[in-house]
Amino acid sequence: MKSLLLFSLIEAMEGVVKRAKDDKKGTHLPTLLPELISEILSRVPIESLMRFTCVSKSWSNLTKHPAFIKLQQSRAQPRIMFVEETGDGDPDTPRTCLYLIDEGEEGECRWKGRDIPIEVKEDGFFWILGSCDGLLCVESGLCQEDPLLIYSPITKECVTLPESDRKHVVTSTGFCFDDKSKKYKVVRLFTDDDSLFYTKGEIITVGESAWRILDVPYAVPLGEGVEPLFEGGALYWFNNNEQHLSGPKQIVVFDIANEKFRTIDFSITLNGTLSLGLAVDGDSLLVVEHSEQNHIRIFKIIGTEVEGYKIQESSHVMSIRPEDCPWGLSYVSYWSKDAVMFQHFLDENKQSFQLAFYFFKKKKYRIVELHGVPNHYDIKYIAPSLVSPSATFATASCVAK
């Protein structure tokens, strides 16, 4: 019902846009209460919202008002975003475009991508480290990690973070919002040698002039593709020193407000694990295991630091015929209570793939038809918003085109 109502609102607003374009003598808009216009515009997809800003100066000004930006941000839903890779999937080639995915109606397996050009005057590398409130934290240099940028793919604005004076060999970076201080923070865990079992750390509040050292009492996995989970004011990693055949023993938690580390202690037994991920379902933290024979196990961690933690396990064997997936799958994310997302590989080298879902209740495996996207891409998530780095952060900005 909500979906139908939203569709009707968008259709009505699109009619207004069309009439405004067709009116050669001037733009005549229907008289609506400002509160009603705000309600409608804050609920439409970001693509429609940006088109509607061309209708009139008053609508455009509305989308720049802090109260509207906050309202729209609160209603923005996470969406899949593809990051273009050129050079046949070579990770060292520049990115020039992002693709925001339109997932269509629920259960629909024909998705479309809307291209969003990257407009940053750097060397075009643009490696995304994290996303928060519609903003991206990115590396802009091919051969160096600093400086990091905070970039809005919607407003095309960005700011440059101060460079760190510490050496980083491999890293894992978290980008998050501190609800207590109402400021954004970037946390970077790293090693300064070839050891992966001794982790150092640093943090910066966006707008400050220098990074601060963090005392990291645990080792966490580092390197390309290792991103922490940000949820409920905290960042989460697996403890690298506690990764054994019997399963991880700890999840490392970094509280954004007090800037302290702690752990969630538990134990699970793994069997032929192909991939392991962290996810959230409501207020519960999940460990999702994809193992051999297309076996999915979901471990729900229940409890508190004071009371201790226990595990609730659910197990699913995916009914997929080998001929339907000859080159294998790779777990991407926990999609919902009833589904998980995979990369469905199309060749032996695993350079090309499609997105696919397995639905637990229906016991169905579905490949998604993707239109308007490149052959090679990284998968990211973003809740598109109008939050402006330049307006939010009192810091030096890099010039966008």
pLDDT, tens only, 346-370: 888 877 888 999 999 888 898 998 8
Asked whether residue 64 carries a pLDDT value surpassing 80, the answer given is yes
- Which pLDDT belongs to residue 126? 78
Does the pLDDT value for residue 310 go beyond 80?
Answer: yes
**pLDDT class for 401, splitting at 50, 70, 90?**
very low
pLDDT for the residue numbered 400:
38
The 3 state secondary structure assigned to the chain is CHHHHHHHHHHHHHHHHHHHHHCCCCCCCCCCCHHHHHHHHHHCCHHHHHHHCCCCHHHHHHCCCHHHHHHHHHHCCCEEEEEECCCCCCCCCCCCEEEEEECCCCCCCEEEEEEEECCCCCCCCCEEEEEECCEEEEECCCCCCCCEEEECCCCCCEEECCCCCCCCCEEEEEEEEECCCCEEEEEEEEECCCCCCCCEEEEEEECECCCEEECCCCCCCCCCCCCCEEECCEEEEECHHHEECCEECEEEEEECCCCEEEEEECCCCCCCEEEEEEEEECCEEEEEEEECCCEEEEEEEEEECCCEEEEEEEEEECCCCHHHCCCCEEEEEEEECCEEEEEEECCCCCCCEEEEEEECCCCEEEECEEECCCCCEEEEEECCCCCCHHHHCCCCEECCC
Task: Output the pLDDT for position 332.
Answer: 92
List the domain boundaries for the chain. 2-23+30-74, 274-318+320-362
Question: Could you tell me which residue, 55 or 64, shows the higher pLDDT?
Answer: 64
Whole-number pLDDT of residue 290: 92
> What is the mean predicted confidence (pLDDT) over 364-384?
88
Residue range 109-115: mean pLDDT, rounded: 88
Please tell me which of 19-28, 189-198, 200-209 the model is most confident about, judged by mean pLDDT.
Answer: 200-209
Query: Is it the case that residue 122 has pLDDT exceeding 70?
Result: no
